[in-house]
Structure 1
């Protein structure tokens, strides 16, 4: 539907991408409370990922200026994905993190294509929205290209964190080891 409308496509990707960190963080938080044990920093890591993805969404809302039906689609997609991911995480956190790792790989691919179209002049390299300049501490003259580069780097980090979470959960470490944090701003 949005094959070449990258702003709206990014908005839809970020709608889905903002869910796993919140769901995982929430479920780990509840498990930590039930078991009276620490999470090894994973609650913070996952909630920071959720916040970072939310900022991607807010940024691309500024870029895409979505129509009313695209905003409605965001609500529908988010509602369905939240419930599906919640159930998946309850069933198998390892699988849930692995799926997110692969979704992040798709996001990296999509942002690479977006970047290529900006560089080829197919998409106008407009000034970066103020929200992006503030969040990523970009220089005043930053452009959409700069934003896409930052978002793609964030997605690569999220991919690595989720694959790592799946790997260590599989080894029975149950998310006791925390990956190196990413400074988002």
Structure 2
């Protein structure tokens, strides 16, 4: 019985192969026209072997072309930094202060002042240590605001007026500040633990504050950036007075801010302070828009303010 089944299976296989052989192994394509199309090497394109040879030839040519493109692209990348670079605008007013008038302003100012004194007491004249903790916190508001505006734009099927990009640009800029100082100083384990705790608390608190009142959240960030400008001014003063030893600027800072090769930490602090001043103005501007009863999308965001 098993032998009969095997014989029957064999016959069915042979019959099926006879039916499919003309379609699978024919040298003439059923989809090609009757006239032969000649390839670049005078090979008939309407045959399976001819098509395969032409495709192989094109593949070799494309591989050589891609290799040349890759070489040229590598040469271009060697001349450019792997991140976006720009020249900082250091002419911005460093002493500008938004005087708290409304209750919204006074609450925001009070929150920032309450946060300022413990950090100053903890770090005192350890400017680089202070800068590392400051930048791990300063990079949070832009990311939270940009994320929530992004979600709002998706829900409402509307544009943001460029504010999503502006806030994410701010967050990335603050992160590059941190990467610069990390190249100079590596935090100890207890400082890393402090950063972990502070960032966790601040991220969630700012997230809830932005959901409740974006104008309050932006005003808080504006005052935080004012304090950042003041902190970097003290940092720069100590470098200029010789209280702190100046040092060569990290390579990451030279590439990111397009600084001269002989730049020092004083030059780095100047451009970072200018960045913080721009962030200060951007967030106060955002809060002013919303305090006036408008939405951010109604006013174009200052993108590319660097």
| TM beyond 0.5 | yes
Query: 1: CA distance between counterparts of 2:187 and 2:126?
Result: 11
Q: What is the alpha-carbon distance in structure 1 between the residues aligned to residue 286 and residue 300 of structure 2?
A: 9
The answer to whether the aligner puts 1:143 opposite 2:301 as a matched pair is no
**Equivalent residue in structure 2 for 1:161, among 271, 279, 282:** 282
In the superposition, the TM-score normalised over structure 1's length comes to 0.96
Q: Give per-residue Cα distances to partners, 1:24-61, cap 9 Å, x unaligned.
A: 00000000000100000000000000000000111112
Question: How much has 1:183 moved relative to structure 2?
Answer: 5.1
The alignment's C-alpha RMSD in Å is 1.1
- Corresponding residue of 2:302: 180
How many matched pairs?
184
CA distance in 1, matches of 2:243, 2:165: 39
Higher relative contact order (CA 8 A, sep 6+): 1
1:34 lines up with 2:155 in the alignment: yes
Partners of 2:300 and 2:136 in 1: how far apart? 25
Aligned to 2:234, which of 90, 95, 113? Answer: 113
Cα deviation digits, residues 60-98 of structure 1 (max 9, x gap): 122222212212222221111100000000000000000
* 1:131 to 2:252 alignment: yes
Between 1:158-167 and 1:61-70, the stretch displaced more is: 61-70
Provide the rounded CA distance (Å) in 2 between the counterparts of 1:95 and 1:57. Answer: 25
- Runs of 4+ off more than 3 Å: none
- Please tell me whether residue 75 in structure 1 is matched to residue 220 in structure 2: no
Larger radius of gyration: 2
Is it true that 1:12 corresponds to 2:150 in the alignment?
no
Cα deviation, 1:95-130, whole Å, max 9, x if unaligned, reads 000000000000000000000000010111101111
Q: Establish whether residue 51 from structure 1 lines up as the match of residue 172 from structure 2.
A: yes
Deviation, 1:131, is 1.1
Check if 1:97 corresponds to 2:215: no
User: Any stretches of 5+ residues in structure 2 without a counterpart?
Assistant: 1-121
Q: Is the 8 A contact 1:59 1:131 kept in 2?
A: yes
Question: 1:170 corresponds to which residue?
Answer: 291
- The whole-number CA distance in structure 1 between the counterparts of 2:158 and 2:301 is 19
Structure 1 gaps of 5+ residues are none
* Conserved 8 A contact 1:157-1:182: no
